[in-house]
């Protein structure tokens, strides 16, 4: 535009008084809107991040070198926010529906390439072991995480006692299948029974445990996988198969439930890996239960120093 006489400004370009004042009013309103927005923000942050845990919540002291000293997720959250589709697909379902699960008596069948295949009562199976606290991070494939003080024992101790043969390259697990006790199994949401598996070196890793309690106490609450479940802290939570009734030593990679349901979304390994996205959502960040802001997800869920060696030379994009 050239600078010219004042009558160069067309009448149509002059801001009408009404709009001119409207602008001021707009600024004022925008200002107060911004103020109230930040107030809403502050309020939401306090309400939605429940950093203060109930005062009566016990705290388990980290002892083993594998324990994390991060703030432990409140017992109430660990026992009311569960993925355990055998009792329903909502997070609150397991806590409501798991009461019918009868964990006594419980037996575990040991099968496959093993010296003494037989059905053990849970008591017989557990007798040789002294349970210890293990405070682990748990990262769900859905993008949330917890810090859980499990009570359990290394899976490798059990494997050693069972004396698997040299053909045993993998270990396969199976959850109880009984719609009477597990009402979620009446819906064909997944293939029942739930099955999971590990490579033998993963199973023998000292981080891998069978959990039988929580916050120093037995038994496990039913909704958390009573009476005995697997915990593999560097893998996504669904690898930690719950309410185990069968352990099989096999020579081939066993099928796993979620990769049967969606093979392009869930692999056999399912190691926590911020670099490899789930096809439908990012795995770069996670929301720690009780926190408002998201945090960065760590390679192998922060256990890279201990477990990265298991996967040396493997393409983790291919073997996701």
Partner 1 sequence: MVDQKKIRRFLKPAIFILSLCPLLFLGWDAYSGSLSANPISDITHTTGDWTLRFLLITLAVSPIRRITGWSSIIDYRRMIGLFAFFYGFLHFMTYLWLDQFFQWGDILQDIGKRRFILAGLTAFILLIPLAVTSTKRMVRWLGGKRWQALHRLIYASAIAGVIHYFWLVKADLHRPIRYAVILGLLLGIRMWFAYRKRRSRKKIMIGRVVTESD
Binding site for partner 1 (CB under 8 A): 44, 47-48, 50, 73-74, 76-77, 80-81, 85, 89, 91-92, 142, 144, 187, 189-190, 261-262, 277, 280-282, 287, 289-290, 292-294
As measured in angstroms, the least distance from the Cβ of 47 to partner 1 is 5
As measured in angstroms, the least distance from the Cβ of 272 to partner 1 is 17
* Distance, CA of 82 to CA of 139 (rounded, Å): 12
Q: Which residue, 98 or 110, is less far from partner 1 as judged by CB?
A: 98
Residue by residue, DSSP assigns 105-164 as S-EEEEEESBSS-EEEEHHHHHTT---EEEEEEEE-TTSEEEEEEEEEEEHHHHHHHH-B
As measured in angstroms, the least distance from the Cβ of 313 to partner 1 is 28
* Strand pairing category for 244-250 and 170-175: antiparallel
- Which residues on neighbouring strands pair with residue 151, listed in sequence order? 133, 213
As measured in angstroms, the least distance from the Cβ of 253 to partner 1 is 22
Q: Which residue, 70 or 142, is less far from partner 1 as judged by CB?
A: 142
* Strand pairing category for 244-250 and 107-112: parallel
* Distance, CA of 18 to CA of 222 (rounded, Å): 68
| All residues at 6 or more sequence positions from 73 whose CB lies less than 8 Å from its CB, including other chains | 146, 147, 148, 288, 289, 290
Q: Which residue, 208 or 297, is less far from partner 1 as judged by CB?
A: 297
Q: Which residue, 77 or 157, is less far from partner 1 as judged by CB?
A: 77
As measured in angstroms, the least distance from the Cβ of 295 to partner 1 is 12
Q: Which residue, 227 or 290, is less far from partner 1 as judged by CB?
A: 290
Q: Which residue, 118 or 284, is less far from partner 1 as judged by CB?
A: 284
What ranges in 54-114 are assigned the alpha helix state H? Answer: 75-80, 93-97
Q: Which residue, 262 or 314, is less far from partner 1 as judged by CB?
A: 262
Indicate the length of the chain as a whole number.
Answer: 320
- Which residues on neighbouring strands pair with residue 110, listed in sequence order? 118, 247
Q: Indicate the SS3 state at residue 90.
A: coil
CA angle 159, 214, 148 (to 5 degrees): 90
* Strand pairing category for 244-250 and 118-121: unpaired
Closest by CA to 228, choosing from 317, 101, 111, is 101
Q: Which residue, 248 or 288, is less far from partner 1 as judged by CB?
A: 288
């Amino acid at each position: 535009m050239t600078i010219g006489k004042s009558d160069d400004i067309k009448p149509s370009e002059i801001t009408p008084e009404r709009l001119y004042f409207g602008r001021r009013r707009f600024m004022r309103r925008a200002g107060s809107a911004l103020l109230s927005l930040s107030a809403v923000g502050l309020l939401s942050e306090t309400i939605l991040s429940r950093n203060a845990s109930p005062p009566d919540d016990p705290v388990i002291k980290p002892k083993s070198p594998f324990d994390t000293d991060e703030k432990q997720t409140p017992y109430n959250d660990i026992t009311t926010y569960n993925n355990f589709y055998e009792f329903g697909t909502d997070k609150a379902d397991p806590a409501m529906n798991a009461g019918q699960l009868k964990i006594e008596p419980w037996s575990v069948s040991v099968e496959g390439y093993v010296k003494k295949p037989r059905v053990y009562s849970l008591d017989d199976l557990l007798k040789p072991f002294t349970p210890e606290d293990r405070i682990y991070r748990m990262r769900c494939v859905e993008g949330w995480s917890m810090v859980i003080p499990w009570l359990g024992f290394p899976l490798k101790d059990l494997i050693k006692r069972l004396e698997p043969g040299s053909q045993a390259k993998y270990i396969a697990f199976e959850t109880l299948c009984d719609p009477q006790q597990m009402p979620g199994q009446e819906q064909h949401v997944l293939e029942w029974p739930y099955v999971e598996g590990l490579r033998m070196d993963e199973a023998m890793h000292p981080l891998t445990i069978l959990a039988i309690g929580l916050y120093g106490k037995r038994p496990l609450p039913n909704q958390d996988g009573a009476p005995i479940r697997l915990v593999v802290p560097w893998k996504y939570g669904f690898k930690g198969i719950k309410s185990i009734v069968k352990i099989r030593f096999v020579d081939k990679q066993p099928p796993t439930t979620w990769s049967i349901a969606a093979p392009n979304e869930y692999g056999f390994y399912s190691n926590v890996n911020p670099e490899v996205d789930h096809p439908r959502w990012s795995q770069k960040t996670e929301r720690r239960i009780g926190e408002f802001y998201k945090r960065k997800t760590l390679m192998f869920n922060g256990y890279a120093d201990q477990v990265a060696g298991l996967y040396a030379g493997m393409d983790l994009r291919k073997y996701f």
